[in-house]
Amino acid sequence: MKRYAALTGTGAFVPERVLTNFDLEEMVDTSDEWIRRRTGIVERHIADDDIASSDLGIEAARAAIKMSGIDPLEIELIIASTITPDMFFPSTACVIQSRIEAMNAGAFDLAAACAGFSYALHVADGLIRSGAHRTILVVATETLSKIVDWTDRTTCVLFGDAAGAAILQTSEEPRGILSSYVAADGVAGDASVLGLPAGGSRFPATQETIQNRMHFIKMRGQEVFKIGVRVMAEAALIALEKAGLQPSDIDLFIPHQANTRIIEAVGDRLTIAHERIYINVDKYGNTSSATTIVALDAAIRAGQVGEGDKILLVSFGGGFTWAGTVIQL
Ligand code: ACO
């Protein structure tokens, strides 16, 4: 029997608190004009101090479960994509499992930075196609605000907090994930270009790592920008080819939401019309692996896409990692 991983529910959640570019003007030497022109970001949502990534992920998961109409006990596996887990262990996926009472599910975290949601779909697709699992919950949840250096204007203006979730279920119809592609380059993407140096086994937390501000995101933005445009376009074309499709077959293109200039450059390379490219980076900033699923959920709930429509997700992030997924609703 041929099996496909159908997307039967999506959900998203962002914390209430909004931090505008004007608020940032009060915190670091920046301006609303600089941030808008260089990134397209206008505002982002920030979690309160006592909120962790799992808290956002649980809300998104509940919304996805509700849309799909399943009982949480039907979930056989939970994959949580995050670079801001609640703690090293237990995994954020286990915390989510307990809170949504999905006690029949295995659970693990997946760390592929901004490409994590597409990486998780890749894993879920393989497990469903192989017959290993019938119902999988994928959650992408990030509180980047917790790992951003709020004194570093080159990074703190870029990020925000959000979560998205999807339920994938076995279907005999050819729908859901039509193709997926993942890639990485650990040479070009070493931690000096984009990473969070300390807190792991290389540099465990010490007075010195704290004084040197090594527990925050470091990024050489221009290098990341250049490779991002190239590999996102590449991932899109490979995912499309694997699905036997052309860019013109796609009803909605949802690229990783890091920067409108990157999004436009990728759209131009693919010759996808601007009106078919989803952009919400203005409202949320870069929420790492949550960006594409938050956008997809909003597009579905707004009726912008519906049954039969084909959607292309493409993302790129730390590692470097990049990935593309073609989904038919
Ligand atoms: N406000 C005002 N000025 C600033 C700010 C700021 N917030 N940040 C930097 N500047 C200054 C710089 O100091 C520099 O000044 P100088 O010319 O006097 O030296 C000037 O602005 C230009 O800086 P650049 O870094 O060259 O600016 P650029 O146009 O490259 O934009 C940006 C920077 C927005 C970070 C861009 O490079 C970018 O978007 N990169 C990609 C980021 C990305 O896609 N990340 C995705 C992965 S993230 C993840 O995986 C977690």
**Tens digits of residue pLDDT in 214-265:** 999 999 999 999 999 999 999 999 999 999 999 999 999 999 999 999 999 9
Backbone angles phi, psi at 31, to 5 degrees: -145, 150
CA atoms of 192 and 211, how far apart (whole Å): 18
Bigger pLDDT: 1 or 308?
A: 308
DSSP 117: H
Using a 6 Å cutoff on CB, does residue 228 contact ligand 1?
Answer: yes
Q: What is the pLDDT of residue 189?
A: 87
Rounded percentage of the chain residues whose pLDDT exceeds 90: 97
Shortest-distance Cα residue to atom 11 of ligand 1: 154
**Residue of 45, 122, 133, 256 with catalytic role:** 256
Using a 6 Å cutoff on CB, does residue 36 contact ligand 1?
Answer: no
Shortest-distance Cα residue to atom 50 of ligand 1: 317
Element (H, E) at 169: strand 161-171
Shortest-distance Cα residue to atom 35 of ligand 1: 221
- Extract the tokens encoding 52: 């962790």
Mean pLDDT value of segment 136-148: 98
Task: Please name which of 4, 12, 310, 312 lies closest in space to residue 160, comparing C-alpha atoms.
Answer: 12
Is residue 256 annotated as part of the catalytic site, yes or no? yes
**What's the one-letter identity of residue 116?**
G
Contact assessment for residue 280 and residue 257, using Cβ atoms and an 8 Å cutoff: yes
Q: Which atom of ligand 1 is nearest to the CA of 224?
A: 41
CA atoms of 310 and 241, how far apart (whole Å): 14
Q: What is the pLDDT of residue 139?
A: 98
263-295 pLDDT, tens digit per residue, is 999 999 999 988 999 999 999 999 999 999 999
Using a 6 Å cutoff on CB, does residue 194 contact ligand 1?
Answer: yes
| Share of the chain residues as helix, strand and coil, in percent rounded to the nearest 5 | 40, 25, 35
Would the pLDDT of 53 be above 90? yes
| Residues forming beta bridges with residue 177, ordered by sequence position | 327
Mean pLDDT value of segment 112-140: 98
Using a 6 Å cutoff on CB, does residue 113 contact ligand 1?
Answer: yes
Distance 187 CA to ligand 1 centre (A): 22
Mean pLDDT value of segment 204-211: 97
**What's the one-letter identity of residue 188?**
A
CA atoms of 91 and 96, how far apart (whole Å): 9
Would the pLDDT of 192 be above 90? no
Band (25; pLDDT cuts 50, 70, 90): very high
Domains of the chain: 4-174 (3.40.47.10), 179-328 (3.40.47.10)
pTM (two decimals): 0.97
